[in-house]
Structure 1
Amino acid sequence: MTVKSSEEFRNAVLKALSFDKIESEHYTFFTNKKKPDLGYLMNYSREGYYHLGIADYTIPNDFSISFDNPELLIRFGIVYEGVTEFKIENNPVSSFTPSSFFVVEKDLKGHQNWKKGQHFHGTEITIYERYFSEIIEPNFPSVMDFSTFIKNYTYTYLPLEIVEIIRQLQSLNHQNLLTSIYLESKILECIAILINEVTRSSENAFTNQINYGNISIGSHRVIKLTSSDIHAIQKAHDILEKSYSNPPNIEALSKMVFLNEQKLKAGFSKHYHMSIGEYINRLKMTVAANLLSTTDLSIEVIAHKVGYNYTANFCKMFKKTYGKTPLKFRKTK
Structure 2
Amino acid sequence: MFVKSNEEFKNAVLEILTFCKYESDHYTLYTNKKKPELGYLLSYSRDGFYHLGIADYTIPKDFSISFDNPEFLMRFGVVFEGVTEFKIDNNPVSSFTPASFFVVEKDIKGQQTWKKGQHFHGIEITIFESYFKEVIKSNFPNLLNLDTFIKNYTYIYLPLQIIEIIQQLQTLSYNNSLNSIYLESKILECIAILINEVSTNTENAFSNQINYGNIHIGNNRIIKLTSSDIHAIQKAYDILQQNYSNPPSIHTLSKMVLLNEQKLKAGFSKHYHISIGDYVNGLKMSAAANLLSTTDLRVEEIATKVGYNYSANFSKMFKKTYGKTPLKFRKTK
Task: Map 1:39-118 to 2 at 5 A.
Answer: 39-118=39-118
Which has the greater radius of gyration? Answer: 1
Q: Are positions 1:18 and 2:27 aligned together?
A: no
Classify 1:174/1:89 alpha carbon distance in 2 versus 1 (closer, same or farther; 3 Å): same
How far off its partner does 1:150 sit? 0.6
Q: Residue 202 of structure 1 corresponds to which residue in structure 2?
A: 202
Q: Which has the larger displacement, 119-128 or 204-213? A: 204-213
- Alpha-carbon shift at residue 22 of structure 1 (Å): 0.5
Aligned to 2:34: 34
1:212 Cα deviation (Å)? 3.9
Unaligned runs of 5+ in 1: 215-224, 232-270, 273-333
Please name the residue that 2:303 is paired with: none
Once residues 225 and 40 of structure 2 are traced to their aligned partners in structure 1, the CA distance between those partners, rounded to angstroms, is 40
By how many angstroms is 1:213 displaced? Answer: 4.5
**Structure 2 Cα separation of the partners of residues 70 and 153 of structure 1:** 15
The one-letter amino acid of 1:5's match is: S
Matched, 1:151 2:134: no
Contact kept, 8 Å, 1:210 with 1:227, in 2: the verdict is no
Q: How does 1:219-234 map to 2 (within 5 A)?
A: none
CA contact (8 A) 1:79 1:123 kept: yes
CA offset at residue 227 of structure 1?
Answer: 6.7
CA deviation vs aligned residue, 1:23-49 (integer Å, no higher than 9, x gap): 010000000111001000000000000
Aligned to 1:100, what secondary structure does the other structure show? strand
CA drift of 1:146 comes to 1.4
**Distance across 2 between alignment mates of 1:53 and 1:202:** 31
8 A contact 1:203–1:227 mirrored in 2: no
Supply the distance in 1 between the matched residues of 2:225 and 2:155 (Cα, whole angstroms). 14
What displacement does 1:142 show?
2.1
Residue type of the partner of 1:16?
A: I
Structure 1: distance between partners of 2:27 and 2:142: 32
Structure 1 residue 226: Cα displacement? 11
The runs of at least 4 consecutive aligned structure 1 residues that moved more than 4 Å come to 225-228
Q: Number of aligned residue pairs: give it.
A: 223
The one-letter code sitting in structure 1 at the alignment partner of 2:2 is T
- TM-score between both structures, scaled by the size of structure 2: 0.64
Percentage identity across paired residues of the two chains: 73
- Give the C-alpha shift of residue 2 in structure 1: 1.7
Where do 1:1-333 residues align within 5 Å? 1-213=1-213
What is the root-mean-square deviation in Å for CA atoms of aligned residues?
2.0
Give me the whole-angstrom Cα distance separating, in 1, the residues matched to 2:128 and 2:137. Answer: 13
How big is the shift at 1:145?
Answer: 1.0
**What secondary structure sits across from 1:206 in the alignment?**
helix
* Alpha-carbon separation, structure 2, partners of 1:118 and 1:227: 37
Partner of 1:253 in structure 2? none
Q: Deviations over 1:286-328 (max 9, x none)?
A: xxxxxxxxxxxxxxxxxxxxxxxxxxxxxxxxxxxxxxxxxxx
Shift of 1:151: 0.6
Q: Distance in 2 between matches of 1:165 and 1:8?
A: 28
Q: Distance in 1 between matches of 2:162 and 2:42?
A: 20
User: Structure 1: how far apart are the matches of 2:98 and 2:117?
Assistant: 17
Q: What amino acid is aligned across from residue 191 of structure 2 in structure 1?
A: I
Answer yes or no: is the 8 Å Cα contact 1:86–1:95 preserved in 2: yes
> One-letter code of the match for 2:77?
G
Q: Which runs of 5+ in 2 are unaligned?
A: 215-223, 230-262, 265-333
Local SS of the residue matching 2:91? coil
How far apart, CA to CA, are the structure 2 residues paired with 1:103 and 1:138?
23
Aligned to 1:276: none
- Determine the C-alpha separation between the residues in 2 that align with 1:184 and 1:115: 34
